[in-house]
Amino acid sequence: MISGIHHVTGITADVQANVDFYVGFLGLKLVKRTAGYADAEQLHLVYGDGLGRPGSLLTFLVWEASGRGRTGIGQVLEIALAVSPQSISGWLTRALAAGVPFEGPTREFEEPVLRFRDPDGLIVKLVGVDLSTPAPLPGGPTRLRGVTLLTDKAAQTAEFLTRFGYRHGERAGQTHRMTSDTDVVDVRDATGFVPSVAGAGVPDHVAFRAGNADEVRSLRQSLREHGPTEVHDRKYFLSLYVRDPAGILLEYATDRPGMTIDEAPEALGRTLFFPPQEAGRAQDLEVMLPQFSLPGEERFPIRKLPFVHRFNRPDQPDGTTLVLLHGTGGYEADLMPIARRIAPRATLLGVRGRATEEGTNRWFRRFDFTTFDQADIRSEAEAFAAFVEGAVAGYGIDAVGLTFLGYSNGANFLAAVMQLYPSAVRRAVLLRSVQALETPPAADLSGAQVLMLDGRDDVYARQAPALADDLRARGANVETRTVRGGHELTGADATEAADWLEQGT
C-alpha cells in the first residue's frame, strides 16, 4: 500500500501575496491554476516540485479579501516542508532579508525546525531532513515533511490515520507522531482549546496518497459504519473525503492522472484550466477569477483604498475603464462577465459594497425592503467619492474614459453618488435602478450622461421614472430604454449598454 501525504490545501485572501511567498520566497513551482472544482468562481492554485508530484503539493483556494480564519480543534495547525539540514541557517538569513516573520530555529523530534508565517498567517515550517532529490531553489523545499493536527480526541485521531498507512511513532509532550514511509503527521492533543473557524490562513484539509481508484473504493467501503464520505473526480486525481473522529477533514487522493495530464512538464502552471462541467462558462469565469503575476513578470500593484476592489485587464486595453457596482448579495467580480461583453477591451474595476445584510454584501443599509437608511447612503457615498478620487490618482486612470455601471442596489447607490458628489460620476449605466434618496440635493449634473435600462416585467420598474426625472431636473442627459424580462439581467442589457457606449465615444 502506498502511503504519505498527497497534498495540503489552504485558503488565501491575497493571491498575489500568496504567489510571491510560495514561488518567490520559498522557491516552489506553480504547477497548476484552475477554476475550483467545488466552486468554479474560486481560483485554485497548486504549488509543488518541477513535475507536480504527489507529496510535494501545496494548494490554495483563493478567497480574495476574505476574513482571517481561526486555527483550532478539528483542523491542521501547520505545514512542514523538507529541506536539507545544512540549509536552515541560509533560510534564516533569507527570511531576515525578505522581512518574512519567523520563529527559531529549534529542534523537534531531533530535527532542526524554522517556522515562517505566510502573508495570511499560516504557519509553514522548514524541517531539516536528509534529501535525495534536488530542490527547485538551491537549498529549497523538495517535498512535504508533514502536518500537525489539532484534536480533542488524540487517541482516536491517531488510530484513524492508520487507515492511510501511518504507524504509531514517538511522543513528545502533547504530540504523538505518526509516520509513513516518506513523511509524518503530528497529532497534538488540544483538549480545551477553541474550535477552528474556516478562513484565510487556516488549512482546509490534508490529503493522503492512494495508489489507484480501487484503493479509494476499498477505503470507502471500510468507512461505511464510520459516517458520511464523498468521492469526487478532480481530473488530476480521484479523491474521497471523510472527517476523522475530531471532525478534521481528510482526503484520500490517487497519484494519477497527475498534474501533467494537460500540460507538458516545462509548461506547468502557465494555463488557466476549467472543470469539464464548466466548459460553457469558461469565458465568463476567466474574467471573474483574480489575476496575478509570477515573480519577475510585469505586475499591477494594488493600492490601499476604502473599498475592496479587483481589476481585470484585457490583453489589449483601449484606455477606457468600467467601474462595476454589484447588486445585493453580489461581490466585486459579479458584473465582470456582462461588462466584458459590453466593453471587450476596457479595463474592468469591480468594487465591493461595505454594508451587509444577513451576511450579504450591499452598498447601504435599509430598514425594510422599501425604507433606506439615508444617513448610511450619504456616509457611504462620501467614502465612495473618495475611493474614485484615490483610484484615478493611484492607478493613473484616465478620467475621460471612465464609465460606471451599477445593477439594482449598486445602481441605486451609484445614482445617489451622482447626486451627492456630481464630480465623482459623470457617465453611468444604471441597470434596474430607483431613487434611493428621500431628499435629493440641488446638484448641478450638467454634462453628466446616464443610460437607465429597465426590465419590462420588473416589479420595481414603475419607480424608475422618478429617478430619471430627478436626474434630468438637475441637468443630466438621461436616456431610458426598456428590455424584455424582469429584474434579472439578460443579454439585451449587454447589447443596449454596448450600443449606448459606442454612440458616446
Q: Which domains does the chain have, with CATH numbers?
A: 5-269 (3.10.180.10), 305-504 (3.40.50.1820)
| Euclidean distance between CA atoms 44 and 272, whole angstroms | 10
> What angle in degrees, to the nearest 10, is found between the helix axes of 409-420 and 464-473?
20
CB atoms within 10 A of CB 163: 16
Amino acid 299: pLDDT: 87
Report which residue type is found at 135.
A
b vs e for 457-496, b when ≥16 Cβ sit within 10 Å of the residue's Cβ? ebebbeebeebbebbeebebebeeebbebebebeeebbeb
pLDDT tens digits, 290-300: 999 999 998 88
| Residue 368: pLDDT band with limits 50, 70, 90 | confident
pLDDT tens digits, 125-153: 999 998 766 555 666 788 999 999 999 99
Cα→Cα distances 132→83, 120, 135, 168, Å: 10, 31, 10, 25
Q: What is the mean pLDDT of the chain?
A: 94
Better-predicted residue by pLDDT, 130 or 54: 54
**10 has pLDDT over 60:** yes
**411 has pLDDT over 70:** yes
Residue range 397-416: mean pLDDT, rounded: 96
pLDDT tens digits, 195-215: 999 999 999 999 999 999 999
List, edge to edge, every strand of the sheet that includes 347-351: 309-312, 347-351, 321-325, 402-407, 427-431, 449-455, 477-483
Residue range 481-496: mean pLDDT, rounded: 96
| Euclidean distance between CA atoms 34 and 32, whole angstroms | 6
Amino acid 504: pLDDT: 76
Better-predicted residue by pLDDT, 505 or 228: 228
Residue range 290-311: mean pLDDT, rounded: 93
Lowest mean pLDDT among 227-236, 267-276, 367-376, 452-461: 367-376
Residue range 452-478: mean pLDDT, rounded: 95
Category of 132 on φ-ψ map: left (φ > 0), alpha (ψ -120 to 50) or beta: alpha
| Residue 356: pLDDT band with limits 50, 70, 90 | confident
Amino acid 265: pLDDT: 92
Amino acid 169: pLDDT: 96
pLDDT tens digits, 65-92: 888 999 999 999 999 999 999 999 999 9
Amino acid 505: pLDDT: 61
| Euclidean distance between CA atoms 463 and 454, whole angstroms | 10
pLDDT tens digits, 161-179: 999 999 999 999 999 999 9
Contact 163, 155 (CB under 8 A): no
Amino acid 424: pLDDT: 96
Residue range 45-50: mean pLDDT, rounded: 95
Residue range 57-61: mean pLDDT, rounded: 97
Amino acid 134: pLDDT: 57
Give kind and range of the element (H or E) at residue 158: helix 154-161
